[in-house]
Chain A
Amino acid sequence: MNLLPDFRTLRPATAAEAAAALAGAGARPLAGGTDLLPNLRRGLGEPAVLVDLSALPDFTAVAVLADGGLLIGAGATLEDLAAHPTVRNDFPVLAQAALGVAGPTHRAAATLGGNLCQDTRCIFYNQSEWWREGNGWCLKLKGDKCHVVAKSDRCYATYHGDVAPALMVLDAAIDIAGPAATRTVPVAELFAEKGDRHLTLEPGEFVAAIRVPPPSGWRSGYEKARIRDAVDFPLAGIAVALRRDGDILAGLRVAVTGTNSAPLTVAVPDLVGRPWDRESAARLADAVRKTSLVLKTTVMGAKYRRRVAQGLATRLAATLWAAG
């Protein structure tokens, strides 16, 4: 591990001050630090300023709105989110995804906003500086070639955040604060499918809060496959929200993580209006296969991750269909 670069830390008290600080050259936001600081120890970035957002007002609050929706400060910890009674009861996919992140000590510090904005990962990137130098660097940092896809002109580092797909199937939106007015966008629009620039935030912008609409009859769940049951990032993660009306599937939303450079909404074929059956499962598996682009970016082979993503999706949808 390297020493940390010689950055300054600022702790702004208002969103406007934070935006101004983040617009400066070489500034990066800091929340829990569980992703950023270990990455900086490996020489993955050399910020001049870290802007600690923890002192912003209402940054850590999890508020249940009058209509049954949620307004969650980006600084709410994953531990708080996973333990919140309303989140557990009405938005199980969100509680399960938050509880599935890393280990308990990480979750006590890691925040929702930090989890969403976590860096993409790759076996050629999450290595020590001397390892990467010995390997001739890579397209994501300092280098000009991709070791995953030779001759590629884009970086294929993978997004492994657990919570983003959960928010996507809940149809949640993100309040992005910045130097201009705060803008609110669907969660999927925070991301771009580029391994080396996977967030669409402009200079000075940061994730301020997350808005989740009321559950209104949607059942939901999250499942991830990983090597160990604790701490590990997902080899593939699937979030499903499903609405059942008697014997008819009335709605289905699916999102996938750990497969591409961004969490993606799966374009579900027209399965609503009839019961969930084996044909529905096969068509959903096919849609997951078409959406995901799994490459050799983890120690686990790509073939397994491709298949497990499909398996998780069909199993989770069937479980939610059968529940109650």
Chain B
Amino acid sequence: MKSILALTVNGRRREDLVPDNMLLIDYLREVAGLTGTKQGCDGGECGACTVLVDDRPRLACSTLAHQAAGKRVETVEGLSRSGRMSALQQAFHEKLGTQCGFCTPGMIMAAEALLRKNPDPDRDEIRAALAGNLCRCTGYVKIVESVEAAKGVAP
């Protein structure tokens, strides 16, 4: 069974005919063509698929596309402006917060959610906000440093 899904993705309104049982991650990657959001464990354990729904972090692999109806969904593609990386993305680049890069979109979206709620988090708050995001390269020190470097910088 399919029905119309109307929502905002990265600032643009969309309407698509979407199956009731389609996951948000499949909608974003397959229908909207936004492959920045990564499918990691695919079971709600690793955080690689983290996107923002109405400014809150959300696991796209454990959310139905229709649960985002009428809401604002943001993926890592939505952070850059006119082809320029956001301050947070720039910080991950400069502070080597990215190794293989697979967890990076989820890390950045979880960190973005934190910085919107708390623009000046301390190290423990950053670690707590990223507690559900796994990095198999284990580059956690650099990831936390990247978020610290981005705080207070205009997005």
Q: Which of B44-52, B78-86, B90-98 contacts A (4 or more CB under 8 A)?
A: B44-52
Q: Which of A104-112, A215-223, A277-285 contacts B (4 or more CB under 8 A)?
A: A104-112
In the complex, chain A residues whose CB is within 8 Å of the CB of B62: 33-34, 37-38, 109
What are 15 A-to-B residue pairs whose CB atoms are below 8 Å?
A1-B42, A4-B23, A5-B21, A34-B44, A34-B62, A38-B43, A41-B42, A52-B64, A52-B66, A103-B131, A104-B132, A105-B133, A108-B56, A229-B131, A230-B132
* B: contact size bracket: 20 to 34
Q: Chain B 1-26 against A: per-residue CB contact (8 Å), 1 yes, 0 no?
A: 10000000000000000001111000
Q: Which of B72-118 touch A at CB < 8 Å?
A: 110, 113
The verdict on A231 contacting B131 (CB below 8 Å), with A34-B59, A41-B42, A54-B67 known, is yes
In the complex, chain A residues whose CB is within 8 Å of the CB of B22: 4
Q: Which of A6-14, A132-140, A179-187 contacts B (4 or more CB under 8 A)?
A: A6-14
In the complex, chain B residues whose CB is within 8 Å of the CB of A105: 47, 50, 57-59, 110, 132-133
Quick one: which of A3, A4, A38, A50 contacts B44, CB cutoff 8 A? A38
How many residues from A make CB contacts under 8 Å with B?
A: 30
In the complex, chain A residues whose CB is within 8 Å of the CB of B44: 34, 37-38, 106
Q: Is the CB of A8 within 8 A of B43?
A: no
Q: Which of A1-59 touch B at CB < 8 Å?
A: 1, 3-9, 11, 30, 33-34, 37-38, 41-42, 50, 52, 54
The verdict on A4 contacting B21 (CB below 8 Å), with A33-B67, A52-B66, A109-B62 known, is yes
Complex alpha-carbon distance, A109 and B113, angstroms: 13
By beta carbon, the residue of chain A nearest B49 is A105
In the complex, chain B residues whose CB is within 8 Å of the CB of A30: 64, 67
Of the candidates B43, B44, B61, B63, the one having the most CB atoms from chain A within 10 angstroms of its own CB is B44
In the complex, chain A residues whose CB is within 8 Å of the CB of B34: none
Show the binding face of B for A, using Cβ within 8 Å: 1, 20-23, 42-45, 47, 50, 56-59, 61-64, 66-67, 69, 110, 113, 128-133
A95 to chain B, nearest CB (A): 14
A118 to chain B, nearest CB (A): 12
Minimum-distance CB pairs A-B, first 7: A103-B132, A230-B131, A4-B21, A105-B57, A108-B56, A9-B20, A38-B44
Q: Is the CB of B47 within 8 A of A37?
A: no
Quick one: which of A3, A8, A104, A230 contacts B110, CB cutoff 8 A? A104
By beta carbon, the residue of chain A nearest B57 is A105
B105 to chain A, nearest CB (A): 13
Show the binding face of A for B, using Cβ within 8 Å: 1, 3-9, 11, 30, 33-34, 37-38, 41-42, 50, 52, 54, 79, 102-106, 108-109, 229-231
Complex alpha-carbon distance, A7 and B66, angstroms: 13
By beta carbon, the residue of chain B nearest A106 is B132
Complex alpha-carbon distance, A275 and B75, angstroms: 57
Complex alpha-carbon distance, A38 and B42, angstroms: 8
Q: Is the CB of A231 within 8 A of B132?
A: yes
Quick one: which of A5, A109, A231 contacts B45, CB cutoff 8 A? A231
Q: A4-B22, A6-B21 are in contact. List 17 more A-B contacts (CB 8 A).
A: A4-B21, A6-B1, A7-B21, A9-B20, A11-B66, A37-B62, A37-B63, A41-B42, A42-B43, A50-B20, A52-B66, A103-B132, A104-B57, A105-B59, A105-B110, A108-B57, A231-B131
Complex alpha-carbon distance, A217 and B60, angstroms: 42
Complex alpha-carbon distance, A104 and B56, angstroms: 10
Q: Is the CB of A102 within 8 A of B132?
A: yes
Complex alpha-carbon distance, A37 and B132, angstroms: 17
In the complex, chain A residues whose CB is within 8 Å of the CB of B64: 9, 30, 33, 37, 50, 52
A12 to chain B, nearest CB (A): 14
In the complex, chain A residues whose CB is within 8 Å of the CB of B45: 231
